[in-house]
Chain A
C-alpha cells in the first residue's frame, strides 16, 4: 500500500537483525543469552524477530485477493447450523475405512495378542491386555474379507503406524488391529455418496456410504451391522 510508509513508523524499521547468524547457534555462539536459553529458538529476541515479519507492508493485491475470497460463498457451507458427522478413518491392508466416533473408545499401541486354545480359526485372534483389561482381539481383515497382505506394497514407508483400536459395543469392548489410523474426520452429510452398485470390494457388505477424503473414497462402515456380525462371530 502506498500509504503504509507514513502511518506506521515501525513498518520502515522491520529490517531484521539476524543476531542468531552472527553470535547465535548459526554463528560463533558468543551470545551471552545462550547461557540461559540454550538455543536461539528459545530466545525472546528471536521471537520478536519472527513477529517482526508480520510488520511487513501489505500489497494491494493481497488485500484485493482476500476481499474477493471473503466475498464468495463460504467453502463447503450450505447451512451454518448443519450438524457435522464425525468418523475415525483408518486403514487395513489397502482399504481405507471409517467408523463412527460414537463406537470408538480408544486407540492404543499395538501389543501382543495371546491366542486362545481351539480358537485358531475364524475372526478371533486371541486376547489382548489394554491397560489391565483383557479384551477379545478380532481380525477385521478376516471379518471384512480384506486382503491383509496387500500392505506389502507399502514397503516404501519408513514408518509403520500400526495401532490397536478398541471399540465399544452393548456387551463389552472389543479390540482389533489396524495398519494405520488417520484420526477423526468431520464432514457434512452432503459429502457422502452412495456405495456404487458394482463395487467389488470385500468390505462392501458392511459399508454404509462412501466419503470422499483426500482424493480417496473411504467406506463408512455401518456400526450396527458390524457389531452384530462381531457378536455372532465370537459367540
Chain B
C-alpha cells in the first residue's frame, strides 16, 4: 500500500493515498473570516471552493512554513453515505511517498491521550511514522460549520 508522507515539526506522518486526489503547491488561500481554529481559508480549485486546513496549526499551534516543500494535499473527505467533499490540508515536507504493508502499522499504546485523527504507527530505521486518519481530521461540529459555510456562500 502506498502512503503520502508529510511532516509536523520533526515527526513523520503518512496519509493513505486512496484518499488523496492531488498534491498542489502552497497557493494563496482566500481567508474565511471568523473560521474556526486550524482553518486557514479556502482555495479556488477549478471553480469550486475547497476549505484549507493547516495541519501544523492544528497539531503544533504554529502555521506551516512558506517554503517550497510545503504543499496542499487535496483529499476526498467523507461526509457520510458514500459522499465525499474535497478538503485541502497544508502540510510541510510533502515530498515523499512510502510503500508499506498496512499490517506494519500497530497501535502506539497511547491513543487515549492523542488527538482523534492520529492512528497507529510503523517503525523504520529513522524512527516512527504515524498514520493519520483523514476521516477524523475535523471534529463533527467543525465539519458542519465549514461545509455549510461554503455551500451557502455565493
Residues on A facing B (Cβ under 8 Å): 1, 3-4, 7-8, 10-11, 51, 53-58, 60, 62-64, 66-67, 69-74, 77
B68 near A56: Cβ-Cβ < 8 Å: yes
The prevalent SS among residues of B at the interface is loop
A-B contact count (CB 8 A): 73
**A70: B residues at CB distance < 8 A:** 24, 27, 43-46
Contact among A11, A51, A63 for B28, CB-based, below 8 A: A63
B46 near A7: Cβ-Cβ < 8 Å: no
Bound Cα distance A8, B67 (Å): 9
B46 near A58: Cβ-Cβ < 8 Å: no
CB of B145 to closest CB in A, whole Å:
24
Quick one: closest A residue to B30, CB to CB?
A: A67
A55 touching B44 in the complex, CB below 8 Å, given contacts A7-B62, A66-B27, A67-B27: no
B45 near A58: Cβ-Cβ < 8 Å: no
A54 near B24: Cβ-Cβ < 8 Å: no
Quick one: closest A residue to B62, CB to CB?
A: A7
**B45: A residues at CB distance < 8 A:** 70-71
Contact among A1, A10, A53, A72 for B66, CB-based, below 8 A: A1
**A64: B residues at CB distance < 8 A:** 27-28
User: Is B47 located at the chain interface by the 8 A CB criterion?
Assistant: yes
**B25: A residues at CB distance < 8 A:** 62-63, 66
User: Is B120 located at the chain interface by the 8 A CB criterion?
Assistant: no
User: Is B63 located at the chain interface by the 8 A CB criterion?
Assistant: yes
A74 near B62: Cβ-Cβ < 8 Å: no
Quick one: closest A residue to B56, CB to CB?
A: A7
Contact among A56, A69, A73 for B67, CB-based, below 8 A: A56
- Extra inter-chain contacts (12) besides given A58-B26, A71-B44, CB under 8 Å: A3-B66, A8-B65, A8-B92, A11-B65, A51-B69, A51-B95, A57-B66, A57-B67, A62-B25, A63-B26, A64-B28, A66-B26
Quick one: closest A residue to B70, CB to CB?
A: A58
**B68: A residues at CB distance < 8 A:** 53-58
Bound Cα distance A10, B62 (Å): 15
**A57: B residues at CB distance < 8 A:** 66-68
Bound Cα distance A51, B92 (Å): 13
**A60: B residues at CB distance < 8 A:** 28
Quick one: closest A residue to B46, CB to CB?
A: A74
A54 near B95: Cβ-Cβ < 8 Å: yes
CB of A45 to closest CB in B, whole Å:
15
B24 near A4: Cβ-Cβ < 8 Å: no
B67 near A72: Cβ-Cβ < 8 Å: no
B46 near A73: Cβ-Cβ < 8 Å: yes
* 23 A-B pairs in the complex with CB atoms less than 8 angstroms apart: A4-B65, A7-B65, A10-B65, A53-B68, A54-B69, A54-B95, A55-B69, A57-B67, A57-B68, A58-B26, A63-B27, A66-B24, A66-B26, A67-B27, A67-B28, A67-B43, A67-B44, A70-B24, A70-B44, A70-B45, A71-B44, A71-B46, A74-B46
